[in-house]
Amino acid sequence: MANSHHVPDYVASILIVDDERQNRRLLEVMLKPEGYQLFTAATGDEALTIVSKQAPDLILLDIMMPGMDGYEVVAEIKGNLATHNIPIIMITALDDRNAKMRALLAGAEEYLTKPVDRAELCVRVKNLLRLKAYSDYHDKYSHMLEGEVGSRIAELRSERDKARRYLNTAEIILLALDKVGRITLVNRYACSVLGWNEDELLGQDWIEMCIPTRIRDDLKDKFQSLLRDDLHSMENPILTKSGEERLIEWHNTLLRDEAGNVTSIFSSGTDITDRRKLEAQYHQAQKLEAIGLLAAGVAHDFNNILSIIIGQSEMILEKLLPEDPSRHRAEEIRKAGFRASMLTRQLLVFSRKQKTQMWPLDLNHLVKESKKLLERLIAEDISIHFDLHHAALQIKADPSQIEQVIMNLAINARDAMPQGGNLSIATTEFLNSNVNHPLGLPVGNFAQLTVRDSGEGMSNEVAAHVFEPFFTTKKDKGTGLGLATVYGIVKEHKGVIEVQSEPGKGTVFTLYWPIIQAPSREDKRSEMQGKRIVGTETVLLVEDEPVFRSLLSEVMEERGYNILRADNGVAALELAEQIKGPIHLLITDVIMPQMNGAILAERLKIKRPAMKVLFISGYTDDILVKHGRKMEGIPLLMKPFSPSDLGRKVREVLDVS
């Protein structure tokens, strides 16, 4: 096959040095498509042997290696006149300023942190190879030209032009300043970043023209440090012709005359603006994770309290006659407990500690449940309108996650209307008969949720990225996670989401979920209301919260079960040893001091293999993941739950053959 691209006669060689075979292999995979000749070495000694026999054009060098580490290898290569000009990129997992400075001071030209981005690696390799090619070329011919200056001025000018072309092919900023800070050389890439052409820049004062006013005095001091050879690397913002600031990482070299006097400063700069933004977003995500961990801990403790509130109120209701005037108060307490439990589930979803629990739900009911919270979140200058479908829209969903979708979309709409406006939330049934639906919807019935605002709107280019993590148009206010979370939840629920928007005309988010034919959880709860499920089996109850343990014991004993109580796993094992008869069911909290519920169940099942197990927990903490194999296939009842929920679940577990 013909290739339209020019293929150079010379193939650059690269030596990859890393003691980890998979790391060497990964770098080979990244660089092989670029056509380089690749060699590998597993140790520093092996690398030096290869370099001594056939010097490569560039070296990718790990720092932490057994025996001779990367710093020692750099020192050996840079200390040898025959190999000192081989460019070295140090690649390491150490994201540490001191390690970076040590590597650069040892003589390395570049420093990359694992995991390495392939595009960045290839650009840096290409740039260093180009600079080395120019350096080698210059070194090769400068000796020949020393005795022929007079007769070969034209040839020198030609070589200078070639050097200029080499500089202009480098995709980094290349800049030379004289001793007073005037620009004497600038490459094409630097011009593209700065916005000025070469003629506009040459001869100008670099600091006065291209440095923001607020840091000019500081940069003047640093410039003097550069002239004293005291500052080889630095970062600072630059000012472009358009007024935009870009953050640049510089590597500086002093150029001297034959007498050793400094004549100018040559600097190579990398635009790290986007990288710094990503780092800031990463730190923001870490803050969110810390908040999530705190939320999970609060929700876990609160669930224990809610279980007691819900349980006690339901037991009071069981003892009150329908006409008792106190019954209404007890019902309100129970309802408030369940509403509070939904708030804790939202905290746990936010903290990523809540296992997704899907069941048949009415989408209209979820929107209604979100209404009060939305009215508190949305400013008074925004009018909210709800238009719900006349019939139930049954979908299989986790209620907390769907509520989070509604909240995130409403908050996004609020932020798009800083001067006020209209927010509409509507549901309807959508029948798709198009086998080639543009959104990929299969033929069938769907519950449709539409969130519409009259806000600022956005262009098609922006709309194409709104679901990407960390993408935001809110500058310092947004995290870029709200709509990405919405997208992830919708996909997890086998749904589809689309966005339509125009600048100045608002935004519409439309979501679709398959409609299912099944009674909702609310309907099932109504059907079971008043039914008291009983039994006579022996149950070992293990719960470290005394009040909650007492409540569960009372609930189970009133339903006819023989209850054995223990406040921790060790006590439960001792109690089980004393019981001669069968223990039909173990009900245990998962997270307890001394011994968690998963280990307790595993040990008891050794001597009592026929015993059934039911786990109860306030949230799915990391310990559930750690002991996931031990818990596999064992039912889990999430706190808070009511006595009737417990009664049904216990009967369900015991009746499974």
Please report the pLDDT score of residue 196 as a whole number: 93
Residue 56 to residue 12: CA distance in whole angstroms: 8
pLDDT band of 377, cuts 50, 70, 90? confident
Highest mean pLDDT among 132-136, 549-553, 590-594: 549-553
pLDDT band of 106, cuts 50, 70, 90? confident
Look up the CATH superfamily of 357-527: Histidine kinase-like ATPase, C-terminal domain (3.30.565.10)
Residue with structure tokens 């309807």? Answer: 428
Please report the pLDDT score of residue 208 as a whole number: 93
pLDDT reading at 252 higher than 80? yes
Domain ranges for the chain: 357-527, 528-655
Task: Indicate the pairing of strand 444-453 with strand 507-514.
Answer: antiparallel
Burial class (CB in 10 A: 0-12, 13-18, 19+), 71: buried
With a pLDDT cut of 70, the percent of the chain lying above it is 84
79-83, 203-207, 347-351, 604-608: the lowest-pLDDT one: 347-351
pLDDT band of 650, cuts 50, 70, 90? very high
Please report the pLDDT score of residue 572 as a whole number: 94
| Phi, psi angle pair for 261, to nearest 5° | -80, 140
> Mean pLDDT in the chain?
84
Pair 27, 2: CB distance under 8 Å: no
Query: What one-character-per-residue DSSP string does 184-227 give?
Result: EEE-HHHHHHHS--HHHHTTSBHHHHHS-GGGHHHHHHHHHHHH
| Phi, psi angle pair for 589, to nearest 5° | -65, 150
Q: Please state which CATH class domain 528-655 belongs to.
A: alpha beta
pLDDT digits (tens, 9 = 90+) for 403-460: 889 988 998 899 889 889 999 999 999 999 988 888 888 999 999 999 999 998 998 8
Pair 525, 537: CB distance under 8 Å: no
| 139 against 266, higher pLDDT | 266
Ordered alpha helix ranges (H), 211-362: 216-227, 273-319, 327-350
CB atoms within 10 A of CB 435: 8
pLDDT reading at 22 higher than 70? yes
Tell me the two tokens of residue 436.
Answer: 């080639």
Please report the pLDDT score of residue 9 as a whole number: 61
Pair 634, 615: CB distance under 8 Å: yes
pLDDT digits (tens, 9 = 90+) for 447-469: 999 999 999 899 888 888 888 77
Identify whether 442 is preceded by a cis peptide bond (ω within 30 of 0): no
pLDDT band of 619, cuts 50, 70, 90? low
